[in-house]
A and B are shown apart, each in its own frame.
Chain A
Amino acid sequence: MKKKWWIPYAFLALPLTMYLIWVIIPIFQTVIISFTDWDSVSPSYNFIGLENYKMLFYDYYFLTSLLNNIKWMVGFVIVAIPIGLGIAMLMDQKFKGNKFFKTMMYLPMTLSFVVIGEIWTWILEPNHGVINEFLRGIGLGNLAKPWLSDPNLVTYALIFAALWRQISYAMVLFLAGLQSVPTEQVEAAYVDGANSWQRFWYVILPALRPAMVIAITVNIIDSLRAFDIVFVITRGGPFYSSSVMANYMYIESFNNYNMGYGASIAVIQFFITLGFIIWYLINSFKKEDNL
């Protein structure tokens, strides 16, 4: 039977249309709205040029949110990746109960950040929360802190809660990456007398490069997208101290009726994210060139 050329296109037509309507077009609409003072309710609006963008640089809360996003990024990259890699290396060994532990480590991945947020609201609760109760229980009561009320601690508490899931995500990526590490090379290194650290550093890690690039990119993008867990646990509070860009955009657009201003935050966030995606693409093309 002759293959009909249009069949793949027919399958793609619906998802592509939806993607266009709900993702691509809104991106351009957002850019347009970011040049206006639209309040999301009025039928009319004024074009005010770059006014919204100018205001952002004087907006203390936007800058706080941006700084918090950077904290998230650092946390996701320098904490989640090494720990995720370490756990992946452990789980890659053959030992009894290996499947069970792998599943346990993978479990947080299956939860949405909303559920995680609800769980951690209780864990971090200052009075009867698990963490503070535990600290008091082992005689370290002075380390028990108002995790969600102290403006200097709250962002770290949120990142910590998010890392719970992010680490398991990194682990999954590295476990997949470890499958592609050629066993012959590792064995050859072993025969050549390389110790386990040398085998890891000179043989396994370079082979994990593609997985590493993916893990770093995904974690950076996830840190920029951080929203749900902040929204559920603190709503950006107390007084915006734990706010991230997405959260501040939401408050400005939907609570404060500043849709134009909110859109300009979204555009900034979009371009930062785009920068990292381009960085990722360049990296992955480079790799293909080397082949």
Chain B
Amino acid sequence: MKRGLLVLLVVILAFSAFAKTKIVINSNASDPAPREAFKHVVDMFQEKYPDYEVVVNTFPHEDFKTLLRTWLNSKEAPDVVTWFAGERMRYFAEKGLLLPLDDIFSDKPFEAYFPASFKSASEYDGKIYFLPFTWYWWSVYYNTEVFKKYSLTPPVTWSQFLHVCEVLKENGVTPITIGTKYLWPTGGWFDYLDMRVNGYKFHMDLTAGKIPYTDARVKKVFEYWKQLVDNGYFLANHSSYTWQDAASFLFRGEAGMYLMGQFIKDVAPAEVKDKLDFFRFPIIDGNVGVYEETPIDGFMVPAKAKNPEGAKVFIKFLASKEVQDMYSKELGRLAANKYVTPPDAHAQKGLDLVLASDGVAQFYDRDTDPEMATFGMNKFVEFMTFPQRLDILLKQMEFQRRKIFK
């Protein structure tokens, strides 16, 4: 009997000790390269903090998006989750589902780690809820071999861009590849065209639901887009393809360009990686400032985390220069920590592109309401398939905007 009790006690102790030190992380880093890189981050943490046991659960991106809110509401919430800065984070912070991370910055302020401009994308109601980890730029990626073959140089203006498209098309190469099965690559086109035509302020107001989609200035955005659609510059049947499927057309040289984030390199085969380069999205109106898309990826702690202390230790570790340095080197992304230098020439070029800009946006689906994003991006795909429906599509988007942003 006594022995039984003793065993029970030991088991209970073992479990409580186990529970105390376990940190559960749910991650969306499901592509092989980021998954591997994040594993190295965890290994580094384990080495430095042997008292903690880190468990990483990795989920495919699209599944992660739908599962996240279930976890945040669950009693079995993970301790740390990956996520996106901006509206996407704010949506949960507003509902009290996230733990404020301000005490992590009690000795050194947020600005001592990250560029001041990251703060607004990481806070809600004066509190920090999001730890910026990496970020990347969007731009027009192109296959250098294809450009060389047809003696093309990266275009700077809209007319030069149209010229490049025309030359590629004449030579039987799809000028622009895009995969719209998961909708969001269309958001990049809308954002860039809107920012090039109407500027940052307008774009932010539009995504915040303050401007009608039937505004003439919005229509103008689609008129530029329409030039590309009408001329058949986009990959045919793009709605059959995921963004990765579409990228393979660029890798194989069957397509010339792809408006995409830096993570396109994660899925590029080794022999193609060096053949990819990028240029700034062409300038449409010289009087409008130059703005870029730079989504920030990072981490949050659910309000119901079982081990918030451990989570914060881990989060603080993630903020450090050494960790961000290692991770960004491995993936060629830019580290959020401002003391980390760009890992390679490619990333330096990306950073220069952003530094030379007048401002940055997150992304359509990170800047606007989730429902508006789904609806809007479906309409973008519809527009790219039936450009003649433009007027009715804008009316439908406007109807939806009014319904959502009451």
Q: Closest residue of chain B to A39, judged by CB?
A: B95
Closest-CB distance, B222 to chain A (whole angstroms): 15
Q: Return chain B residues, CB-CB under 8 Å to A147.
A: 240
Residues 77-100 of chain B, each 1 if its beta carbon lies under 8 Å from chain A, else 0: 000000000000001100111000
A125-B240, A148-B237, A239-B382 known; A41 and B370 CB under 8 Å? no
Q: Return chain B residues, CB-CB under 8 Å to A41.
A: 69, 72-73, 91-92, 95, 97
Interface residues of A (CB under 8 A from B): 40-43, 124-127, 146-149, 151, 234-235, 237-240, 251, 254-258
- Report the bound CA distance from A146 to B240 in whole Å: 8
Which residue of B96, B374, B382 contacts A256 across the interface (Cβ within 8 Å)?
Answer: B374
Q: Are B240 and A240 in contact (CB under 8 A)?
A: no
Q: Are B370 and A255 in contact (CB under 8 A)?
A: yes
Closest-CB distance, A249 to chain B (whole angstroms): 13
Q: Return chain A residues, CB-CB under 8 Å to B240.
A: 124-126, 146-149
A42-B95, A235-B182, A237-B181 known; A251 and B239 CB under 8 Å? no
Q: Closest residue of chain B to A256, judged by CB?
A: B371
Q: Return chain A residues, CB-CB under 8 Å to B237.
A: 126-127, 146, 148-149
Which residue of A238, A254, A258 contacts B180 across the interface (Cβ within 8 Å)?
Answer: A238
Q: Are B378 and A239 in contact (CB under 8 A)?
A: yes
Q: Closest residue of chain A to B66, judged by CB?
A: A254
Q: Are A257 and B371 in contact (CB under 8 A)?
A: yes
Residues 352-396 of chain B, each 1 if its beta carbon lies under 8 Å from chain A, else 0: 000000000000000000110011001101100100000000000
Q: Return chain A residues, CB-CB under 8 Å to B180.
A: 237-238
Interface assignment of B220: CB less than 8 Å from any CB of chain A: no
> Which residues in chain B, 121-163, are within 8 Å of chain A measured between CB atoms?
none
Q: Closest residue of chain B to A61, judged by CB?
A: B378
Q: Are B66 and A255 in contact (CB under 8 A)?
A: yes
Q: Are B381 and A237 in contact (CB under 8 A)?
A: yes
Interface residues of B (CB under 8 A from A): 65-66, 69, 72-73, 91-92, 95-97, 180-183, 236-240, 370-371, 374-375, 378-379, 381-382, 385
Q: Return chain B residues, CB-CB under 8 Å to A255.
A: 65-66, 370, 374
Q: Return chain A residues, CB-CB under 8 Å to B95.
A: 41-43
Q: Return chain B residues, CB-CB under 8 Å to A149.
A: 236-240, 385
Q: Return chain A residues, CB-CB under 8 Å to B378.
A: 237, 239-240
- Report the bound CA distance from A256 to B240 in whole Å: 22
Q: Closest residue of chain A to B385, judged by CB?
A: A238
Closest 8 CB pairs of A and B: A238-B239, A149-B237, A146-B237, A239-B382, A256-B371, A148-B240, A254-B66, A126-B237
- Report the bound CA distance from A238 to B238 in whole Å: 9
Q: Are A146 and B382 in contact (CB under 8 A)?
A: no
Q: Return chain B residues, CB-CB under 8 Å to A146.
A: 236-237, 240
- Report the bound CA distance from A237 to B96 in whole Å: 34
Q: Closest residue of chain A to B379, judged by CB?
A: A239
Q: Return chain B residues, CB-CB under 8 Å to A258.
A: 371
A127-B237, A149-B238, A257-B371 known; A239 and B381 CB under 8 Å? yes
- Report the bound CA distance from A44 to B95 in whole Å: 10
Closest-CB distance, B62 to chain A (whole angstroms): 8
Q: Are A256 and B239 in contact (CB under 8 A)?
A: no
Closest-CB distance, A286 to chain B (whole angstroms): 44
Q: Are A239 and B236 in contact (CB under 8 A)?
A: no
Q: Are B181 and A151 in contact (CB under 8 A)?
A: no
Could you write out 10 A-B pairs with CB less than 8 Å apart? A40-B73, A127-B237, A151-B385, A237-B181, A237-B378, A238-B180, A239-B239, A239-B382, A257-B69, A257-B370
Interface centre among B95, B238, B239 (most CB of A within 10 A): B239
- Report the bound CA distance from A76 to B359 in whole Å: 55
Closest-CB distance, A270 to chain B (whole angstroms): 21
Closest-CB distance, A154 to chain B (whole angstroms): 9
Interface centre among A43, A151, A255 (most CB of B within 10 A): A255
Closest-CB distance, A41 to chain B (whole angstroms): 5
Q: Return chain B residues, CB-CB under 8 Å to A256.
A: 370-371, 374-375
- Report the bound CA distance from A149 to B382 in whole Å: 10
- Report the bound CA distance from A146 to B385 in whole Å: 12
Q: Closest residue of chain B to A240, judged by CB?
A: B378
Closest-CB distance, B395 to chain A (whole angstroms): 13
Q: Are B181 and A40 in contact (CB under 8 A)?
A: no
Closest-CB distance, B88 to chain A (whole angstroms): 12
Closest-CB distance, A29 to chain B (whole angstroms): 14
Q: Return chain A residues, CB-CB under 8 Å to B66.
A: 254-255
- Report the bound CA distance from A201 to B237 in whole Å: 47
Q: Return chain A residues, CB-CB under 8 Å to B73.
A: 40-41
Closest-CB distance, B72 to chain A (whole angstroms): 7
- Report the bound CA distance from A127 to B370 in whole Å: 32
Which residue of A126, A238, A257 contacts B236 across the interface (Cβ within 8 Å)?
Answer: A126
- Report the bound CA distance from A65 to B346 in whole Å: 46
Q: Return chain B residues, CB-CB under 8 Å to A251.
A: 374
- Report the bound CA distance from A43 to B69 in whole Å: 12
Closest-CB distance, A39 to chain B (whole angstroms): 9
Q: Closest residue of chain B to A146, judged by CB?
A: B237
15 further A-B pairs in the complex, CB-CB below 8 A; given A251-B374, A255-B374: A41-B69, A148-B240, A149-B236, A149-B385, A237-B239, A237-B378, A239-B382, A239-B385, A254-B66, A255-B66, A256-B370, A256-B374, A256-B375, A257-B69, A257-B370
Q: Are B370 and A234 in contact (CB under 8 A)?
A: no
Q: Return chain B residues, CB-CB under 8 Å to A40.
A: 69, 73
Closest-CB distance, A239 to chain B (whole angstroms): 4
Q: Are B181 and A235 in contact (CB under 8 A)?
A: yes
Closest-CB distance, B83 to chain A (whole angstroms): 14
- Report the bound CA distance from A127 to B236 in whole Å: 9
- Report the bound CA distance from A127 to B235 in whole Å: 11
Closest-CB distance, B240 to chain A (whole angstroms): 4
Closest-CB distance, A30 to chain B (whole angstroms): 16
Closest-CB distance, A214 to chain B (whole angstroms): 35
Q: Are A238 and B374 in contact (CB under 8 A)?
A: no
Q: Return chain B residues, CB-CB under 8 Å to A151.
A: 385
